[in-house]
Amino acid sequence: MKSQVVLLKCDTYDREKIYEELLWGIGQLGGIGRFVRPEEKILLKPNLLRKAEADSAIVTHPAVVAAMAKILKEAGFIHVSYGDSAGVGPMDKIAGACGLAAAMEELEIPMADFNECVHVNYPEGKMAKQFHLAKAVTETDALINICKMKTHQLERMTGAVKNMYGCIQGLHKAKGHTKFSNAESFARMLVDLNRCIRPRLYIMDGITAMEGNGPASGTPVHMGVILIAADPVALDSVCCGLMNLAPELVPTNVQGEKMGLGVWQEKNIDVITREGSLTISQAQERFGKKDYDVNRGREVRRIWRQIRWISRHFQRKPYIVESKCIRCGICVEACPVEGKAIHLHRPAAPVYDYKKCIACFCCQEMCPKKAIRVK
């Protein structure tokens, strides 16, 4: 049986319109009752990467989270909460800045506890056998992942599978980057994380997406879509189609299928739209953006990667655009490498130590001035 991904056309962040679209889309997959039960504790997990305005495309738009929350409320769900472990800064400030806190308050939905950490063993893990999860994640019965459609320097795109990294509590996220320090091992860890937590449903906000220097310094781009699926790999594969990015170039897709999380190949995915069932290619023609600004470069061959001195010349590296840098030091704080691979150099801009740099791009993700690019 094929994985089903619902593709909704939605050109506005009007909450009522999104609510209607989500209701229709979830109905196509069997209705909300197929995924969660009213007596269960439900955690809504948006992408709250860092403090940003709702229309910056850095965070999941609050209108999408609120529309999903309204569906649950109207279906009689009482124990609904929301949260994410941000890259930098406290969650209440981030939820406040983008308007999510106000939207949830209106619906009387509380913020979950993402400050406390719980160590969880996962013996079935193929790459990661333990996780440091936010307490709220361990205490919920069912998680609904509400991700954002964005580019990403390490994994090329971030969507359903990658959004689960926010379930790792606070500083443990930085440690994960040093432990799983290349795109493939990081992807395998993410797949294990999804297999461990098992979100019941994945929703992607692609109304305004991010292209270029994502996931926090790119350019907002109108795509006008929302995707829904129970299979996160299939959802991300459809997202790749819309970005005109070969899905096999995204490690979370390839590893996701190998490790049994879902499927990425077009022949195994049905895209459900109001106009009928489509293939990914047809969805791309109809709803995609051929010139979406995303890294489509082929990877350096594995054998070359194994030869360290050659690979160093091919590795993608962050660099700072000095004229944009305000010398705040957030990039230095964000660097997970022991002893740091980037150092303050005031009054000049921070300086990289490329010998230590593991190319995780945490510094680029967290820079508030879009001053860090990748070459």
Beta strands in 107-243 (DSSP E): 117-121, 130-134, 142-152, 156-158, 201-211, 219-229
- Quick count: other Cβ atoms within 10 Å of Cβ 343? 15
How far are the Cα atoms of 145, 210, 240, 263, 340 from residue 362, in angstroms, in the given order?
A: 22, 17, 22, 28, 12
Helices (H), the chain: 15-28, 62-74, 91-98, 100-106, 135-139, 172-179, 183-197, 232-243, 251-258, 280-287, 302-306, 308-314, 330-334, 362-366
At residue 134, φ and ψ (nearest 5 deg) are -65, 140
Per CB under 6 A, which region of 27-35, 50-58, 123-131, 362-370 contacts ligand SF4?
362-370
- The answer to whether 369 contacts ligand SF4 (rule: CB under 6 A) is yes
Bridge partner residues of 3 (DSSP): 269
Min separation Cβ 315 and ligand SF4, Å: 10
Closest to ligand SF4 by CB, 203 vs 357, is 357
In angstroms, the CA 107 to CA 235 distance is 28
d(CA 190, CA 199): 13
For 152, the 3-state DSSP assignment is strand
Does 361 bind ligand SF4 (CB under 6 A)? Our answer is yes
Nearer to ligand SF4, 73 or 324 (CB): 324
Nearer to ligand SF4, 21 or 365 (CB): 365
Token match 């619906």: residue?
Answer: 107
- 29 part of the interface to ligand SF4, by CB under 6 A: no
Cβ-based nearer residue to ligand SF4, 138 or 315 = 315
Cβ nearer to ligand SF4, comparing 78 with 321: 321
One of 118, 120, 310, 358 touching ligand SF4 (CB under 6 A) = 358
Closest separation between CB of residue 373 and ligand SF4, Å?
A: 10
84-95 burial: b if 16+ Cβ within 10 Å, else e: bbbbbbebeebb
CB of 24 to ligand SF4, least distance (A): 42
Task: Measure the CA–CA gap between 78 and 122, rounded to whole angstroms.
Answer: 30
Interface map 315-354 toward ligand SF4 (x if CB under 6 A): ---x-x----xxxxxxx--xx-x---xx------xx-x--
Rounded to a whole number of angstroms, the minimum distance from the CB of residue 327 to ligand SF4 is 5
Residue 247 contacts ligand SF4 per CB under 6 A: no
Q: Residue 37: helix, strand or coil by DSSP?
A: coil
Count residues contacting ligand SF4 (CB under 6 A)? Answer: 28
Min separation Cβ 156 and ligand SF4, Å: 16
For ligand SF4, what does the binding mask look like between residues 191 and 230, x meaning CB under 6 A? ----------------------------------------
Compute the least distance from the CB of residue 342 to ligand SF4, in Å. 4
Q: Would you give the end-to-end CA distance of the chain in angstroms? A: 42
Task: Pick the closer one to ligand SF4 by CB: 218 or 350.
Answer: 350
Q: Summarize as ranges the residues that interact with ligand SF4 (CB under 6 A).
A: 318, 320, 325-331, 334-335, 337, 341-342, 349-350, 352, 357-363, 367, 369, 371-372
